[in-house]
Amino acid sequence: MQIDLNADAGESFGNWTLGRDEELFPLISSVNVACGFHAGDPLTIKRTLELARQTGVAVGAHPGFPDLVGFGRREMAATPEEVYADVLYQVGALWAFLKAAQMPLHHIKAHGALYNRATKDPGTARAIAEAARDFDPQIPLVVLPNTPLEAEAQKLGLRTVAEAFPERGYASDGRLAPRGTPGAWIHSPELAAHRAVQMVVEGRVEAVDGGWVEVRAQTLCIHGDNPNAVGIARAVREALEAEGIGIQTY
């Protein structure tokens, strides 16, 4: 058995630094690189790809809403046409740096509020999926299972990769608990590691509002902006490997 371990990264901007990418990359197998709309800038992208090459980490595009101030976590009144254009633009920007570095684009994964909206709104989901298809229909799209994003991507014939979040709380409906609500964030590396094993081995996880949620996961995400991201990634990796589960890209 094997599982991909991904993390959001490249989220610094100018002289402002976020995350500990140098420590995080050796612990994961794939990375979602900010493309400049919610975080990141051209030089940060370039340096993030250099680090990914050095550590052997696969690189994916992480497009979000054009919201640097809110880190892409605020809802925006973007139409499906705007979402399509924004996603295609951002993937293309990252691809230019990948092409210059002679590195492949491994996957596409929406960020923050854009990702969350696509788990509820079919129009947004289809716009993201259409942008991914029109860029390259062979590149996988990372999705939250059993949501419009997964359904719309599969309708277009895209390969989808089911994602789970060991350091984020789940509501009983299978969606992520809203940020700022009790249990939405898991800060304990030990608890996150326990949840990761549950997700991969048992296919389930405890919900913040009681009971169990079924989980289907091909990749597990560690948020790079979590203050304990490095400790969580290390604990998750060690716990999975102790169960005989290899860390490998899909």
**Number of domain units in the chain:** 1
The residue written with tokens 């990634």 in the block is 233
Residue 115, Cβ density class (10 Å: 0-12 exposed, 13-18 middle, ≥19 buried): buried
In the prediction, which pLDDT does 57 show? 98
Find the CATH number of the domain harbouring 41.
3.20.20.370
In the prediction, which pLDDT does 224 show? 83
What six digits make up the tokens of 224?
């790079």
d(CA 165, CA 38): 20
What digits encode the pLDDT tens for the residues 90-118?
999 999 999 999 999 999 999 999 999 99
In the prediction, which pLDDT does 179 show? 84
What digits encode the pLDDT tens for the residues 39-81?
999 999 999 999 999 999 999 999 999 999 999 999 999 999 9
Could you tell me the residue range of the domain that residue 86 belongs to?
2-247
Mean residue pLDDT of the chain comes to 96
In the prediction, which pLDDT does 132 show? 98
Identify whether the C-beta of residue 39 lies closer than 8 Å to the C-beta of residue 65.
no
State the virtual CA torsion across 198, 204, 207, 212 in degrees, nearest 10.
-120
Residues of the chain with pLDDT under 70: none
165 φ/ψ angles, rounded to the nearest 5 degrees: -130, 95
Determine if residue 244 is left, alpha or beta; phi over 0 gives left, psi from -120 to 50 gives alpha, anything else beta: left
